[in-house]
Structure 1
């Protein structure tokens, strides 16, 4: 009885608190801008937390820990490079000054390259959001399926989806941010507690754990340093993860940049997020090492994610089983609400508003369209998750959408930040090249699943070739820094110099 009653009670309390916070945070949004990005008065800490809460999805506990147990040091090194991508992005994100008045990354692309690329990016953003929400719903179903003897898992899943849709659709970005903060604090507290519990369960010291694991080939650094196909694949994976995943380019992450009040705040948000994410990833890696030490199931052949996760959950006490479930639900819900919000904003602002024949699309109609879009997209993702047979199928489904978004958006967006201004033809040639490249990897080479960086490079090189080889209007090309960006760079230079002098003293 206690095996399921205590975990279900903990989960019920968590969901009720989420609903209360979400509904309490609902504001009467009189303008679409307030619904999409708020009043731009969010603190830097709040933006950092909501960005990390969106980034740290349920796959970190359910999928990535079993993957680290299987692949060993190779995957751990790849994930340790993720914060480096966030730090690199913080070095150029301060150039977003001319775009901070926008409401989505699709609008930014449209302001630089035209209407058709804007619609392409909007479709990619919505597809990415649907794929990510589908994956998170499937993880939710897996985490609550063990309680099906008491309450059917589908009923719990439907309740969770309705809770998220209610505050994400009605409350806009403010409700999403407030619930993200609560969910982040909840799952981070639980993860740290569970990490300590797993360490105590090993009954070994850190030195003894490292010594025992180092004897295993897949955890030896020397095994990765031989120049061969495996090392080349590892380097491609590291660059792909470090420059793309950690750069927070996907629309749900980049939406936090449009919530900032200044380019300087955007830079701080991305820089602080990269440092905090490094600490969190280290905790996840430690958890995988402790699990590998404790549970023999992780030491054999590659087991399905579901079996490894269920094996771990079966060896936890009812109280910690409830906490683990809450941590997973918190990570999933914080990602789902952000994805639903950005998909709804993109649908209303970048798709419906540009349908031929719609000449006047007022704020009231855009608000209604965004709320309806959030509901429809959430329900479609739930149906998609139910139709997929297992988590592995959903993961491949998400990878396709993830790669499609990056190969379409990353190169044009980064070039726009660096000062490039091109035509729709230039952007579309680059996007088509990137899509063809990623399709060729899917169906011809299939050398590694993390080949987005090569496709993004193909996109960028195609754009440069199209710009310099084809006739272009006079207003296109590279532009210098505007007056605001020059003041920003001068301020940053003075700040760094002043900080360095303080450190020396």
Structure 2
């Protein structure tokens, strides 16, 4: 492989610029509040950008275009965009954002759960959230190797550069470094998709010509689907676990007020609709190229985006596309890495040592924890040869390391939403739902099909949580969080 091809040099330059910007932005961090939420100094624009950069993971572009190639237009749009973006983001803006002022002063999702359910729950969520975030970081760093391969950079070399760089700037500067590098990475992502669509458009005599080569069944809602194949993804994307997970709650906590939180989600909704429409165009372009006689196009949608880049994109443009994909990976990885370090220091080590009346420097512990967890993820990725599963199809799920991540997502989402919305909270109902979910999760893995496994586990979590609450209180009780945060 050529380590210094034009495309490789473009990618190297982006990596070094990202490192320099991150180290510069994160200089002189002096308090844990500054490290965790940047002292709530950023405006709506930065808040929206850093949230979007975190949301657009390394598999988003590749996965969604592949969805369109496999299943046509409507199924991906209804599940991923309508359910996963429009409904979830508007729900957060309308119902979660107005109530976040009640948690002013909190720095993490685990601390919010501690306010709602008590210190033991805070520590448990801190531990579970650390593992959740560490898995996300590991999966993203593995994607660095995948991206390196397609622009002819050895996978371990791209993992080394990207992984080491994000460890340094995320651990040193915290949210200030992450937010500013997210802006740089967001610009790269925003350039990537329109550029890719424009390059592919030049393979046709205009948009109309492309659509004439797309078979009509690709616009049929039930192109390849039965009701089960539609219903389960529909329900899963409605479950707002990811957009309410650990780094996203930190974005809400770093907002100046609730209006800023709501506005950032409204803006993000419109941006993501346009983003996915362009990815739909790329997927349809691949279908048209296949219809026009490209016999080498892969049959699996998961391989389509990379094939298009390798086959139809000229030198230089491949490097720019590589930067965009790299930015999507690093902006997600650094956010989850920062969250993991904060959870370890602020919500696990800090509370445990406080019970022993031991004075600690939470800022220093956060920095060391972030670097150490990044190093763990980096080492796993270097020794890990399979790709993380893209969000559909039969591609390997990364040897199952995502299973625990899904479990944690189910455990915290419903209790957190219920508490924020005003349900009377107590630790007993949380731990009952945790135990019931754990039992269901592992039994379900043995006896339930993949199609029904996650919906059944979510239902059991909800039934056990609300059932325990109902039995304890002989009904459903709410409280005014302005007066009582722990009941």
**Unpaired stretches in structure 2, ≥5 consecutive residues:** 390-395
Judge conservation of contact 2:72–2:223 (CA < 8 Å) in 1. Answer: no
1:169-208 Cα distance to aligned partner (Å, 9 max, x none): 001101100000011012211221111111222x144344
Separation in 2, partners of 1:57, 1:136: 8
The 3-state SS of whatever aligns with 2:316 is: helix
Q: 2:146 aligns with which of 142, 160, 174?
A: 142
Q: 1:244 aligns with which of 240, 245, 248?
A: 240
Q: 1:3 to 1:317 in 2, by over 3 A?
A: farther
**1:324-363 matches, cutoff 5 A:** 324-355=321-352, 359-360=356-357, 362=359
The 3-state SS of whatever aligns with 2:42 is: coil
Separation in 2, partners of 1:361, 1:477: 38
Judge conservation of contact 1:128–1:401 (CA < 8 Å) in 2. Answer: yes
**1:100-499 matches, cutoff 5 A:** 100-146=104-150, 152-201=154-203, 203-216=204-217, 219-223=219-223, 230-244=226-240, 248-295=243-290, 296=294, 301-302=299-300, 305=302, 309-310=306-307, 312-355=309-352, 359-360=356-357, 362=359, 365-391=361-387, 392=389, 393=396, 395=398, 397=400, 399-448=402-451, 452-470=454-472, 477-480=477-480, 482=482
Separation in 1, partners of 2:222, 2:168: 52
1:446-500 Cα distance to aligned partner (Å, 9 max, x none): 2428x6454334322212211221369x9x93114749xxxxxxxxxxxxxxxxx
Q: TM-score, normalised by structure 2?
A: 0.88
**1:14-53 matches, cutoff 5 A:** 14-53=14-53
Which residue of 2 is the match for residue 79 of structure 1?
80
1:295-323 Cα distance to aligned partner (Å, 9 max, x none): 546866437x4686256324421111111
Q: 1:266 to 1:310 in 2, by over 3 A?
A: same
Judge conservation of contact 1:70–1:302 (CA < 8 Å) in 2. Answer: yes
Q: TM-score, normalised by structure 1?
A: 0.85
Provide the alpha-carbon RMSD of the alignment.
2.9
Q: 1:361 to 1:77 in 2, by over 3 A?
A: farther
Q: 1:7 to 1:467 in 2, by over 3 A?
A: same
Judge conservation of contact 1:62–1:139 (CA < 8 Å) in 2. Answer: no
Separation in 1, partners of 2:266, 2:386: 36
Separation in 2, partners of 1:317, 1:3: 18
Judge conservation of contact 2:85–2:272 (CA < 8 Å) in 1. Answer: yes
1:417-437 Cα distance to aligned partner (Å, 9 max, x none): 110122111111112223333
Q: 1:194 to 1:300 in 2, by over 3 A?
A: closer
The 3-state SS of whatever aligns with 2:255 is: coil
Separation in 2, partners of 1:408, 1:297: 46
Which residue of 2 is the match for residue 503 of structure 1?
none
Judge conservation of contact 2:26–2:177 (CA < 8 Å) in 1. Answer: yes
Q: 1:35 to 1:300 in 2, by over 3 A?
A: closer
The 3-state SS of whatever aligns with 1:213 is: coil
Separation in 1, partners of 2:295, 2:249: 38
Segment of structure 1 superposing worse, 159-168 or 72-81: 72-81
Separation in 1, partners of 2:344, 2:399: 24
1:234-269 Cα distance to aligned partner (Å, 9 max, x none): 123123213326x61111222100101112221222
The 3-state SS of whatever aligns with 1:101 is: coil
Query: Alpha-carbon deviation of 1:398?
Result: 5.3
Q: 1:395 to 1:153 in 2, by over 3 A?
A: closer
Query: Alpha-carbon deviation of 1:47?
Result: 0.4
Separation in 1, partners of 2:49, 2:202: 29
Judge conservation of contact 2:7–2:319 (CA < 8 Å) in 1. Answer: yes
Judge conservation of contact 1:15–1:160 (CA < 8 Å) in 2. Answer: yes
Judge conservation of contact 1:107–1:118 (CA < 8 Å) in 2. Answer: yes
1:64-87 Cα distance to aligned partner (Å, 9 max, x none): 433432233433431122222111
1:85-135 Cα distance to aligned partner (Å, 9 max, x none): 111121112111111321111111111112232222222221221111111
**Unpaired stretches in structure 1, ≥5 consecutive residues:** 484-505
Separation in 1, partners of 2:224, 2:154: 46
Separation in 1, partners of 2:125, 2:245: 10
- Equivalent pairs counted in the alignment come to 470
Q: 1:453 to 1:181 in 2, by over 3 A?
A: farther
Q: 1:425 to 1:382 in 2, by over 3 A?
A: same
The 3-state SS of whatever aligns with 1:478 is: coil
Separation in 2, partners of 1:61, 1:279: 13
Q: 1:192 to 1:341 in 2, by over 3 A?
A: same
